[in-house]
């Protein structure tokens, strides 16, 4: 009894698939016949064109009526007419595949140029937010559409804000892309004192996270991965909060006098504060050099962990998880 029911179920499903395929072929044939009539109108006799149009109309009415037998018969009739009179205008299988692939490639290039682009993180300058081997998607239109192969932008949706992570063209070598966090925007005054960032005369709000803090780093002598001890803080810019790390037993970054960010420029830093080549060394980033805002980690693979399953589809503008659990307390 069970086998009979199973066979009956398979039969029903098979018939449903066949009818669905026939209806899809009917819609495609209608579209093809109309295309040929429109494109080669000067080559087709009027009586032939009228006969094909009647067959197209009959197939459309059959599709609306819902009777499968009528759809099948009408499809066969129209297919015979197209083969007999309009075969010169039909596309070969190779041409159809080529056109489909071409359209797909154009759509992919458009999305990559103006909407979303994928990047891979090559260094640890953004630890703990981004690790070596993280693959991310970048929103390329939020700060304005950038004309490919240029630094010209238009139609900006919003201005960059403090705390956002951006991908940009490295000002000192335009063949390279960098990823950093915005610390200050145009008009802000930046200074450094006691290893803290001072914006417009006020230190960035932060909380120290107690407990062990480690991140992986390669030893230059042995080329082996080893945990590097650090101190972790949570910093906050308005509604954006994130975590940064400072190495233990390292000299603090030298104090610097206040510096005002010029118009149309950004001051950026890595979240791995003692191991980041950023605006502290080579200056500010022009707005026009921004490629987009980093939004999500979609794949993560790198040494020494291998595949990092817990980082898949992690929103970048959310606080990252550290190597050891921490409890937030005010900094002393």
* C-alpha distances out from residue 106 to 34, 112, 142, 144, 286, Å: 25, 10, 22, 21, 30
Q: Let me know: does 260 contact 113? Beta carbons within 8 Å.
A: no
**Is 125 annotated as catalytic?**
yes
* C-alpha distances out from residue 200 to 107, 183, 258, 260, 274, Å: 45, 11, 8, 9, 22
**Is 69 annotated as catalytic?**
no
E strand or H helix that includes residue 294: strand 290-302
Q: How far apart are CA 240 and CA 183, in angstroms?
A: 11
Q: How far apart are CA 163 and CA 329, in angstroms?
A: 21
Q: Can you tell me which residue has the tokens 């937030």?
A: 328
Bridge pairing between strands 165-169 and 290-302:
antiparallel
Q: How far apart are CA 268 and CA 279, in angstroms?
A: 5
Minimal CA–CA distance to 27: which of 62, 51, 54? 62
Q: Let me know: does 132 contact 302? Beta carbons within 8 Å.
A: yes
Q: Which residues pair with 116 in a beta bridge?
A: 139
Length of the chain: 332
* Alpha helices (H) along the chain: 2-39, 46-65, 68-85, 93-114, 279-282
Catalytic member of 74, 180, 279, 300: 180
Angle between helices 2-39 and 46-65 (to 10 degrees): 150
Catalytic member of 125, 276, 279, 300: 125
The residues annotated with a catalytic role in the active site are 125, 180
């Amino acid at each position: 009894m069970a086998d009979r029911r199973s066979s009956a179920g398979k039969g029903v499903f098979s018939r449903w698939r066949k009818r669905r395929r026939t209806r899809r072929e009917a819609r495609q044939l209608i579209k093809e016949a109309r295309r040929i009539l429109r494109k080669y109108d000067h080559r087709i006799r009027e009586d032939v064109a009228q006969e094909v149009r009647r067959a197209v109309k009959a197939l459309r009415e059959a599709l609306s009526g819902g009777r499968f037998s009528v759809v099948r018969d009408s499809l066969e009739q129209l297919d015979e007419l197209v083969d007999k009179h309009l075969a010169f205008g039909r596309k070969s299988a190779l041409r159809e595949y080529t056109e489909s692939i071409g359209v797909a490639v154009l759509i992919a290039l458009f999305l990559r140029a103006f909407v979303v682009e994928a990047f891979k993180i090559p260094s640890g300058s953004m630890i703990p937010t981004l690790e070596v081997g993280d693959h991310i998607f970048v929103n390329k239109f939020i700060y304005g559409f950038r004309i490919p192969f240029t630094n010209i932008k238009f139609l900006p949706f919003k201005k960059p804000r403090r705390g956002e992570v951006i991908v940009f063209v490295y000002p000192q070598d335009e063949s390279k892309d960098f990823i950093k966090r915005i610390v200050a925007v145009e008009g802000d005054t930046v200074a450094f004192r006691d290893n803290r960032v001072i914006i417009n005369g006020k230190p960035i709000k932060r909380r120290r996270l107690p407990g062990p803090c480690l991140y992986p780093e390669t030893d230059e002598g042995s080329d082996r991965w080893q945990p590097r001890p650090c101190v972790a803080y949570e910093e906050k810019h308005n509604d954006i909060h994130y975590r940064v790390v400072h190495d233990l037993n390292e000299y603090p970054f030298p104090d610097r006098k206040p510096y005002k960010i010029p118009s149309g420029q950004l001051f950026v830093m890595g979240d791995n504060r003692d191991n980041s080549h950023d605006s502290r060394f080579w200056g500010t980033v022009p707005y026009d050099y921004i490629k987009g805002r980093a939004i999500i980690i979609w794949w993560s693979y790198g040494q020494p962990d291998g595949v990092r399953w817990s980082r898949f589809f992690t929103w970048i503008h959310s606080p990252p998880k550290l190597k050891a659990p921490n409890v937030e307390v005010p900094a002393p």
